[in-house]
Chains A and B, each alone.
Chain A
């Protein structure tokens, strides 16, 4: 008897976990295809005639949002490349050369993660305006990459630590330079680590709100920022359009996270336990 009870409890727990994690996501994905009158139907209507009305309305009335998606794509790609390349280089150095100066600068990397991003916006805001790089892709790319190179370096170091040192020593004897060792040996063998780093940067850069909110106004406005403006503007009126936009913003990165979950888990554990 207790065994059946235990099984039942476990089934309920699994069901609850699934519901908690997925219900909000599924709800807006489905609702984005619902005609207006069904969005708030109670009890929720499972059978409805799917419609693309909201997506059409989004396309015709919120062209800004699609520009935002393009900006997000550019910024995310740029930030990922920059962060992965610089983290791999630094991770290599930290993994292979250990002395006091190096370990104190590694400690500095951990220390820097403690600083809240909003504090940085204060002094950067006027400087960025003076340099006239506010509202540009390059600024957002550098900002996003910078906030992940510390974690990225720690992750890369963990992965590069697993590559036997004898390999670089052998290459060194054959006359290879540090750059050649990095390019020919370390990078190919630490591909897993680079993927793990890019998962974090992609998710972060694609979804980030605070920096976009403060540093972009028109040209480099990202999708989350446009979505927040739509949220403020159409509140309580047109949920359908909002759901369509949320779905488009969410779906690519959701699929990506599901596909890359193994790397996400590996990166999180490497970054958190070692950092």
Chain B
């Protein structure tokens, strides 16, 4: 019964990943037999300034996007939990971006932040704020990518936190109320500790998924200007499909896999320890 699932995963994911490891130890290109070169590709990737820039960009985006999402998701979840009018409609509205494809989202945000005539640009100008020059200024480009990713993925973080918040029994708040706890104390002593596991899970998943960010960057800036807004997945794509350097691309791929695993391990262990600490 599990055979179909394991076969699909085995042939489409596991075998390719192992093959990528072999590729990463060779030099190869289209129509060329791979030649074994040991860890040369890793050395080459790790000494490529473009790789380090892509890594830095990825880290910045992941940290900004995931933590902003957690804060916003927590805020919206608590807003919903405090009782709001027309809840089903509001829920549908908050979930709506989940249905939007990356390309449609890029069309929307690119239009709103159009340098000459976009509405968001006009609003920024109206308040005397500087224009987001995302096509020229790499920092601004990354900012727009971050805004877009937050917009697309907030529904996920929100749902996890909201479900966890609903699972907190009402009596706890009633008891806190009786003991004279202020709303802030209720948040600090009841809501936050009980939401922590869900927040860690949301964070872990979003770290891993934000780390593979490709489409938003590729469609919005293409990694430009001058490769300054590249993230790791875009770097990998360019190595493989533009420069036909499958060896270095594969090495980048394995670095991505290892980084994802390390991220996950660290958090899973942390999660484990925390659960153990509260049980003891």
Contacts and interface: CB of A to CB of B under 8 A. Distances in A.
Interface of A: 10, 13-14, 17-18, 20-22, 24-25, 27-28, 31, 40, 42, 44, 85-87, 89-90, 92-94, 102, 105, 108-109, 112-126, 142-143, 145-147, 149-150, 153, 178, 182, 203, 206-210, 213-214, 224, 227-228, 231, 239, 242-243, 246, 249-250, 253-254, 256-258, 261, 264-265, 268-269, 272-273
Given A21-B94, A116-B257, A90 B12 contact: no
Contacts of B119: 27, 42, 44
B163 A269 contact: yes
B96 A21 contact: yes
Contact of B101 (A31, A86, A206): A206
Nearest to B22: A123
Range class of the B interface residue count: 35 or more
Given A122-B246, A149-B5, A214-B241, A258 B107 contact: no
B194 interface: no
A119 B159 contact: no
Interface stretch (B39-47, B185-193, B197-205): B197-205
Contacts, number: 241
Contacts of B70: none
- Name the residue in B101, B215, B254 with the highest tally of chain A Cβ atoms < 10 Å from its Cβ: B101
Given A13-B79, A272-B205, A20 B101 contact: no
A258 B101 contact: no
Given A116-B233, A120-B12, A228-B103, A273 B201 contact: yes
B117 interface: yes
Contact of A122 (B23, B92, B264): B23
A17 B79 contact: yes
A92 B1 contact: yes
B257 A203 contact: no
- Name the residue in A10, A126, A210, A268 with the highest tally of chain B Cβ atoms < 10 Å from its Cβ: A268
Interface string B78-93: 0100101100101111
Nearest to A226: B103
Contacts of A253: 99, 101
Interface stretch (B13-21, B48-56, B61-69): B13-21
10 closest residue pairs by CB, A with B: A207-B101, A116-B212, A119-B253, A93-B1, A24-B108, A257-B99, A90-B5, A123-B19, A146-B12, A86-B4
Interface of B: 1-2, 4-6, 8-9, 12-17, 19-20, 23, 30, 75-76, 79, 82, 84-85, 88, 90-109, 111-112, 114, 117, 119, 122, 151, 154, 156, 159-160, 162-163, 198, 201-202, 205, 208, 211-212, 214-215, 218-219, 233, 236-237, 240-241, 246, 249-250, 253-254, 256-257, 260-261, 264
B8 A142 contact: yes
Nearest to A23: B112
Nearest to B250: A122
Nearest to A106: B2
A27 B111 CA distance: 10
A93 B106 contact: no
Nearest to B252: A119
A257 B95 contact: yes
A55 to B, nearest CB: 16
A199 to B, nearest CB: 10
A228 B102 CA distance: 10
B107 A203 contact: no
A268 B160 contact: yes
A5 to B, nearest CB: 14
Nearest to B116: A40
Nearest to A114: B260
A122 B239 CA distance: 10
Given A115-B257, A120-B17, A89 B4 contact: yes
